[in-house]
Amino acid sequence: MQAIAFLGTGNMGGALARAACRGTDPASVLLTNRTYSKAAALAEELGCTAVHSNCEAVAQARILMLGVKPQMMAGLLDEIKPVIKASLARGEEKIVVSMAAGLPISFYLSALDCPELPFLRIMPNTPAAVGQGMTLVSSCNATAEALDEFEALFHAAGRFDRISEAQMDAAGVVAGCTPAFACLFMEALADGGVRAGLTRRQAQEYAAQAVLGTAALLLESGKHPGVLKDEVCSPGGSTIAGVEMLEAGSFRYAAMEAVTAAVKRSMELGKPKE
């Protein structure tokens, strides 16, 4: 039996597939996608195997990574349910993992009619593709050994944190949506650099490396972000002048409101359609 199958190879599924292929033998990784050619191209790149059918992948794999969008999940579960139930009836072990926003674990166990199925709900982010991800994990029916195995398999993705499912919407937004927010910030910084006379390549590289380095400094030092900010702001200097403009533009308030809006939307995605 293959180690792991990815059902859906979009941006997030593809990022985790890359991490898995760095953390285990690519020959043990299966890929499917609604558009087969996309799975085939990624499989060729990673040295793993693309298959035409979700059910074929489910029958062969022990760990199933559900990588479709929330609105497509019910259809996927209905498709693979008979294969999972047949495998369990034969005594085969299955661990199902979903990376879809909003949908609670209870939704999956009910849809699959497998209340005892080991299930992990995760919220990864796209930096997992380069080993700098933050993946949040909540689980049901999964042993500590299964969680350890999952994290070992994806160790090349970056950091992990095990949280309660009640925290998933908020934590998933801060970890999962922040790459998009950060890209907006870096793009704006680069635009400012271009306006000031830098080339686009220079401005983008400087902004990205500064954000990357500051994030590493924050994690490694354990200092509060405000302390690190103060360490850069010399009295009457250029940095504090820039900070003043960000404050005038309600930068921090806008960031807080962005998180609030994204959490609200994540919770809406988890509600059943009327």
Q: Do the strands 119-123 and 133-140 form a parallel or antiparallel pair, or are they unpaired?
A: antiparallel
Q: Is 7 annotated as a binding residue?
A: yes
Q: Is 135 annotated as a binding residue?
A: no
For residue 73, give the 3-state DSSP assignment: helix
Query: With contact defined as beta carbons under 8 Å apart, do 123 and 136 qualify?
Result: yes
Q: Is 73 annotated as a binding residue?
A: no
Positions of E strands within the chain: 2-7, 29-32, 49-50, 61-66, 95-98, 119-123, 133-140, 158-162
Q: What type of residue is 212?
A: L
Q: Is 125 annotated as a binding residue?
A: no
Q: Is 54 annotated as a binding residue?
A: yes
Q: Is 9 annotated as a binding residue?
A: yes
Sequence-distant (6+) residues with CB within 8 A of 143 are 118
DSSP label at residue 273: P
In DSSP notation, 141-196 reads S--HHHHHHHHHHTGGGEEEEE--GGGHHHHHHHHHTHHHHHHHHHHHHHHHHHHT
Place of tokens 């160790």: 155
Query: CA 43 to CA 57: how far, in whole Å?
Result: 14
Q: Is 217 annotated as a binding residue?
A: no
Q: Annotated binding site for NADPH: which residue ranges?
A: 54
Residues in the annotated binding site for NADP(+): 7-12
Annotated binding residues, as ranges?
7-12, 54
